[in-house]
Amino acid sequence: MKHSISIVGLCLAVLSACSADDAPVTPASDASASGGEGQPCHPNQTCDAGLTCGNGICKKPGVDSGVADTSVADAPVDSAQLDSSTCDAGQCGGQCADLQNDAKNCGQCAHDCGGATCALGVCQPVVLASGQNGPFALALDATNVYWLNINGGTVMKCAVGGCNNSPTILASNQGVPQGVAVDAANVYWNNKDGTIMKCAVGGCNGTPSSLATGQFSENIAADATNLYWSHYGAGDLLKCASGNCNNNPTTLVSGLNSPAAIALDATYVYWTNAVGNGSVMKCGIAGCGNAPTTLATTQDTALGIAVDATNVYWSTYNGGSIMKCAVGGCSNAPTTLASGLSNPSGVAIDATNVYWANVNGNTIQKCAIAGCNNTPTTLASGQSAPTSIAVDAKSAYWTNNKNGTVMKVAK
């Protein structure tokens, strides 16, 4: 799984409820009445509260007036076969849809908010868990979202569909957990006290296993057979068999300048070096003779990172940008996808977009991997120091470090 929709209003026809060739119909019951449902509009083309004026008739938004529609052959009144002028808000699949409020067609047809509400054409975030003590790093599999409470010293999980705000504690009394990764069998994390730990995704009776000690690491990543972590203080990048390496990890690269976040593909491990001039590097997962390839330099506090088959993407925390470079290299001239951001941190990708959390901007944003003209889409605002982010096929998930919540929003 990679560890890592622009909202477009469609078919809007707010001012017209029927085809242009439909004739207004005035109810015979009271020719002087106006503004009510089924009655003529007021002279200023308005209606009573909750109703809209379409072709001279007041009716509920998204509801056809029943006036004959000559644009549909052999249909004396409008049927499920609609044209774009027959709905107040728009149509999706031949049916009227309120793109501003319909949670199944939010902002555009078939954009499903996944059980959340739609407001002004934007899916609203959902709280998966609250009352967490400094939620920080986050990882995802097909079933659950996992996170670390950096202040509480706990490792948590909650079903991606929700857990009634009652997440499961997988481990407690950890030594300031920093980074988290997951594979098909286990959750892995590194603690500031230097330990690398694991626990089965189904639970380990609160007794996780130690894979290595003396590793003062910043972040961790996992593939099907190995773990990889960055030793921030020592400047090392290491790996260990996920089963066990008898507390004897392999050093892939040494002499780095504060290696931070890690991403993997089938061949290479990629990482950011946060301090100094800030850089992005890669090394073969089997090793590179302590001679890593530098993809980019002068990246101001390079931090979060993600990779797909074509590109590697990262955030520059102090530089306020989201960058990309071809996995094979970009002649140290990476592409800026977004700039002017407020301390972007965690980064995630899918086949279409790159997503990130702006820690001090308190927003979750996305940009097409091909570019968005430096105009990213905001998926959620008003967050509280969002840090780590992950995505699946339908949603984005993140931690709010400051207010202690774990969140989700439809992409």
Structural domain boundaries in the chain: 5-122, 126-410
pLDDT, residue 39, reads 74
pLDDT, residue 301, reads 95
Tokens 């990679």 found at:
2
Q: What is the chain's mean pLDDT, rounded?
A: 86
**At residue 302, does pLDDT exceed 60?**
yes
* DSSP-assigned beta bridge partners for residue 134: none
pLDDT, residue 3, reads 41
Among residues of the chain, what percentage have pLDDT more than 70? 83
Maximum average pLDDT range among 89-93, 231-235, 398-402: 398-402
Burial (CB count <10 Å: 0-12, 13-18, 19+), residue 260: buried
Residues 6+ apart with CB under 8 A from 156: 129, 132, 135, 146, 147, 148, 149, 167, 168, 169, 170, 406
**At residue 121, does pLDDT exceed 60?**
yes
The model's pTM: 0.79
> Where is pLDDT greater, at 234 or 137?
137
Q: pLDDT tier at 284 (50, 70, 90 boundaries)?
A: very high
For the residues 285-291, what does the mean pLDDT come to? 97
Q: Which of 98-102, 183-187, 215-219, 251-255 has the lowest mean pLDDT?
A: 215-219
| Strands 226-231 and 154-159, bridge-based pairing | unpaired
**At residue 329, does pLDDT exceed 60?**
yes
CATH code for 126-410? 2.120.10.30
pLDDT, residue 80, reads 35
Is the four-CA dihedral 93, 97, 103, 109 of positive or negative sign? positive
207: number of Cβ within 10 Å: 8
* Distance (Å, whole) CA 408 – CA 12: 28
For the residues 109-128, what does the mean pLDDT come to? 95
**At residue 85, does pLDDT exceed 90?**
no
Residue 278 — left, alpha, or beta (φ > 0 → left; ψ -120 to 50 → alpha)?
A: left
- Report the b/e string of 112-144 with b at 16+ CB within 10 A: ebbebebeebbbebbebbeebebbbbbbbbeeb
pLDDT, tens digit, for every residue of 259-283? 999 999 999 999 999 987 899 999 9
